[in-house]
Amino acid sequence: MTSEDTTALGLIPAPRKVSRVPPGPGPHPLDEETVLSAGPGAEGVARWLRATVGAATGLPLREGTGDNGIALSLDEALAPEAYRVVVDGRAIRVEGGGAAGLFWGAQTFRQLLGPDAFRRAPIAQGRTWEVPMVVIEDEPRFPWRGLMLDVARHFMPKDDVLRYLDLLAAHKLNVFHFHLTDDQGWRIEIKRYPRLTETGAWRSRTKYGHRASELWDETPHGGYYTQDDIREIVAYAAERHIRVVPEIDVPGHSQAAISAYPELGNTDVIDTTTLSVWDTWGINPNVLAPTDNTLRFFEGVLEEVLELFPAETSPFVHIGGDECPKDQWQQSLTAKNQIVDLGLKDEDELQSWFIRHFDTWLTERGRRLIGWDEILEGGLPPNAAVSSWRGYGGGIAAAEAGHDVVMCPEQQVYLDHRQDGGPDEPMPIGFIRTLEDVYRFEPVPPGLSEEATRHILGTQANVWTEVMQTRARVDYQVFPRLAAFSEVAWSALPAPDERDFAAFDARMAAHYARLDALGVDYRPPAGPLPWQRRPGVLGRPLEGPPPVV
């Protein structure tokens, strides 16, 4: 197809191959008579299509076959996530290698219908709907295309999480990394430890802006997901072919848990009964005590987590492992004795012991541990995977050592970082990472050996919510950059310098219209709207280009 044709279709992420059907018959109409058929294995996608495109168009999409129809089927010759959309004057065919591929094909089909197909109800009676005559053949670059949402710093209500799953699916992203616990809040109900949510799920006030800000929001803040909420989220994700990676962050980032169960902290160093859920930001010294009791407690937590997040859709469980200051362990006689008893060298090996314990524990239960790249320090069992966040370095070392890696370097794809250098960015944090910067992010660093490259499972964008109090603030940070990210994760893009950002940006015109229809509060290209600004609230902008590490 010509580049004008692909710009007009505005497909994001860009598919591998789009061809026009010769000799170019007119578009395929969709109307009251259009029928829908689902072959074996395609029933779930048919359900999704009726619920979304059916609602947006107001068309009944009755069950049936015929030239005025949409036929969904599986084609085992295709890879599980690959799909084909054929619009050639006969029935529209959407075929996937597996149900996941078919679902991504259905997402492309919805994009072909135009932005109003992203609404929840028709905006006009009797309008005609048309699908252009095209054949699209497509498959993803990476099997792990993720978004991490931090629902601990600011709680995201369940409905908003479900909406984010829809937004992931609309961008063909298939991993939702659910950061459920941190110093500032514990967000998942654990039946055997009710105080985790009774005490740990709320705080009486919150720092407003960066930690150096003088401002406080004195409104109590909190919330958590009941076990049934979690089951609903997991099922909703599964229907959209999204895997959920639950994160229980240990042994650092644990003040909320310690405030609920003070015995989890280093009681011989500080009076942990005085701790409450943290109300400000930064790296917290109050970490878990490295004891057998702590291990038993978190085994209890993880037993419930494994029951809620089944192995089929949550093969990986994230145990954090990041930013655990060792100061309290250095002062703790209990920690010192544990080092001696276990025959370890120092506190770093103690952390390694802690992580290895859960690696063994999860492996015995048919799961795989994933953690932030600090877990590499002190050695790691081969089955464990690494989220490379402090740069590429951890990921390179891990992949060369044979570990699977998810590339999510903070210098590139932390969407809490500001997206423009202008004075109007709300609570600006970190380096400037524009839409174009994200578009030019490359998950596989140059020079990586072929063997190590096979260990790069994919990539994810991470969203830490210290300065995102509302869903609208999250939307602002995430969009439009998640659209560029989705193309990095899905499409077969050339090397960063050779990427045609202008062509992507031209396709974004169609995509902004889709985001408008979906009700996404993205950052407009011309800058924040007045109500998206936060004048006077301190951020922490970092100057210069981000270091490459």
Residues binding ligand ACM (CB under 6 A): 322-323, 372, 389
Q: CA nearest 319: which of 295, 284, 341?
A: 295
Minimum distance from residue 322 beta carbon to ligand ACM (Å): 4
Choose between 225 and 389: whose C-beta lies nearer to ligand ACM.
389
User: Residue of minimal CB distance from ligand ACM?
Assistant: 322
Instruction: Please state, in angstroms and as integers, the Cα–Cα distance from residue 548 to each residue in 349, 391, 445, 453, following that order.
Output: 28, 7, 11, 19
Neighbouring residues of 237: CB distance < 8 A, sequence distance ≥ 6:
165, 176, 243, 244, 313
Omega of the bond leading into 251 within 30 degrees of 0 (cis): yes
Minimum distance from residue 495 beta carbon to ligand ACM (Å): 27
Instruction: Please state, in angstroms and as integers, the Cα–Cα distance from residue 28 to each residue in 37, 57, 136, 201, 310, following that order.
Output: 17, 15, 15, 52, 41
**Locus of tokens 């990041």:** 322
139: annotated active-site residue:
no
Q: CA nearest 154: which of 201, 213, 198?
A: 201
Minimum distance from residue 34 beta carbon to ligand ACM (Å): 47
3-state SS, residue 366? coil
Given 95, 138, 150, 182, the catalytic residue = 182
Choose between 169 and 413: whose C-beta lies nearer to ligand ACM.
413
Helices 99-112 & 158-170 angle (0-180, nearest 10) = 80
323: annotated active-site residue:
yes
Given 304, 323, 348, 400, the catalytic residue = 323
Minimum distance from residue 372 beta carbon to ligand ACM (Å): 4
Given 171, 221, 253, 403, the catalytic residue = 253
Choose between 115 and 430: whose C-beta lies nearer to ligand ACM.
430
Task: Identify any residues that bridge with 129 across adjacent strands, giving them in sequence order.
Answer: 30
Structure tokens, 397:
């070392």
116: annotated active-site residue:
no
Choose between 96 and 378: whose C-beta lies nearer to ligand ACM.
378
9 φ, ψ (degrees, to nearest 5): -70, -35
In the chain, count H helices and then E strands.
19, 25
Minimum distance from residue 461 beta carbon to ligand ACM (Å): 12
Neighbouring residues of 535: CB distance < 8 A, sequence distance ≥ 6:
none
Choose between 323 and 442: whose C-beta lies nearer to ligand ACM.
323
Minimum distance from residue 505 beta carbon to ligand ACM (Å): 29
Choose between 268 and 323: whose C-beta lies nearer to ligand ACM.
323
* Residues marked as catalytic: 182, 253, 323
